Structure 1
Amino acid sequence: MRRFAPLAAVALAIVAVPAVIAQSPGAPGAPDKTRVTGGTYAADSNHTMVVWQVDHLGFSNYTGIFGDVTGTLVLDPKNPAASKVDVTIPVAKVTTASAGLTAHLLREGKDGGKPDFFGPAPADAKFVSTSVVLDKDGDEAKVIGNLTLNGVTKPVTLDVDFHGAGTGMNKKETVGFEAEATIKRSDFGVSMGIPFVSDEVELKIHAAFEKQ
């Protein structure tokens, strides 16, 4: 899979910067960073996901999703570099467009051997930020942290954009981010099919957080 796997995170965006995707007219959220207030936010698990993509045999890109992300985001608009994110991704809930492939990702190893991918009872993935670095214009950020996946922890850098902020339908202050990263699944002990299925996994994270 050409850039496949998680993170956790949702890993996830932490700073308020201009949105790259336009919101629908009249939507409660808008790419206005003055709407962001400091405090602790919880991941909206219904609207936060990690999308992974890998190259399949050089013919097409294949995509899957990790959803039901949980965790917290601590924001300080006056000092974005002090922001922190800690999210957990349930690998066992991975989904793809093919029931057969989804089952393959989570099946037991043949004859008691090591599973091809995650196995039937995979541990949750987790992303914990260690630093946030804004660019000189303050409109983009790199969120650096540790991703734990398949029992292996490696540093990962997320390229983050602010998507929007406002008051959600449940009357809670909400912030949203988009993030991207590329990892090598072999770094996390998931090497089945390389090089026919790419080692590199592209991650695209869509994250919403509600203020607590």
Structure 2
Amino acid sequence: MTRKFAIIAALGLTALSGVAIAQADPFVRNPVQVKSGSYVLDPAHGKITWSVDHMGFSTYVGQFTDVTANLDLDVRNPAASKLDASVKTDSVGTFHEGLDKHLKTADFLDTAKFPTAQFRATGIRLVDRDSAKISGNLTLHGITKPIVIDADFNQAGINPVDKRYSLGFDGEAKIKRSEFGINYGLPLLGNEITLHLEAEFKLKTPKGGA
């Protein structure tokens, strides 16, 4: 009976171990465990949401949906990492046709003259285990100004849908549109714009090999 009980117990432990392995979280949430390498933004899951005060009555919200970006991530030396992003200003959207057209005119973004906004990071500094300040230059409406993005790391791992190694983070930055020469409606319409970024990146080339 003792030997039989030992065999049953061993089989039970093996089964429980298998369940534990199957249920193990496949994602990492500690940035130091993320793979270094070259990443490209997943265009379907990279958006910039903006918000601005509307005469004190409400906070108006819209999005830029055509965003491209490349991230060269060095986990061992975050300051050496590089981030470049480009936004098609004509992709601005608010789900209101009239306002969308107005935002694209010379009163605001003047998308015909300035079809692209760009951001290039000049420095990345870790604040704590899973957040960083990304300093860089934003070119908008033909004017370049320094901004800081407060970024929070979400997680990294193999995406169960496309089976590609992915990482995600979100970020927030505040800019004053008057500094970029967009003055229409001031001061009734808010000057400070809050930019909220959601980004999922796909690994192209791991550091040290293809």
With the length of structure 2 as denominator, give the TM-score of the two structures. Answer: 0.80
Opposite residue 56 of structure 1, the aligned amino acid is H
Do the aligned partners of 1:46 and 1:68 also contact (CA within 8 Å) in 2? no
Q: Secondary structure of 2:120's match?
A: strand
State whether structure 2 residue 193 is matched by structure 1 residue 201.
yes
Equivalences for 1:106-117 in 2 at 5 Å?
106-107=104-105, 115-117=106-108
The code of the aligned residue for 2:124 comes to V
Preserved contact between residue 43 and residue 72 of structure 1 (Cα < 8 Å): yes
In structure 2, the partner of 1:148 is 139
1:91 is matched with 89
Letter in structure 1 aligned against 2:109:
F
Question: Counterpart in 1 of 2:77?
Answer: 79
Structure 1 Cα separation of the partners of residues 141 and 73 of structure 2: 29
- 1:89-122 superposed Cα distances (whole Å, 9 cap, x missing partner): 1111110031110011113xxxxxxx11122513
* Residue deviations 1:115-145 (CA, integer Å, cap 9, x gap): 111225132110000001112x433211000
The yes-or-no answer on 1:180 pairing with 2:178 is: no
Contact 2:30-2:130 within 8 A present in 1 as well: no
| Closer, same or farther: CA 31–56 of 1 in aligned 2, 3 Å | same
> Which one has the largest radius of gyration?
2
Identity %: 43
Residues 120 and 130 from structure 1, CA distance in 2 versus in 1: closer, same or farther, beyond 3 angstroms? closer
Structure-1 residue corresponding to 2:43? 45
Q: Unpaired runs of 5+ in structure 1?
A: 1-24, 108-114
Q: Which has the higher helix share?
A: 2
Match of 2:202 among 196, 207, 210: 210
Name the residue aligned to 1:160. 151
Residues 40 and 95 (structure 1), Cα distance of their counterparts in 2 relative to 1, 3 Å cut? same
Q: How does 1:28-67 map to 2 (within 5 A)?
A: 31-33=29-31, 35-67=33-65
Which digits, 9 at most, give the CA deviation of each residue in 1:134-185, with x for residues without a partner? 12x4332110000001111000000010011111222211111110010000
Which runs of 5 or more structure 2 residues have no equivalent in the other structure?
A: 1-22, 205-210
Residues 74 and 84 in structure 1, CA contact (< 8 A), matched pair in contact too: yes
SS at match of 1:44: strand
Counterparts in 2 of 1:91 and 1:41: CA distance versus 1, 3 Å: same
SS of the aligned residue for 2:71 comes to: strand
Relative to the length of structure 1, the TM-score reads: 0.79
Over aligned residue pairs, what C-alpha RMSD do you find?
1.9
- Given residue 77 of structure 1, which amino acid in structure 2 is its aligned partner? V
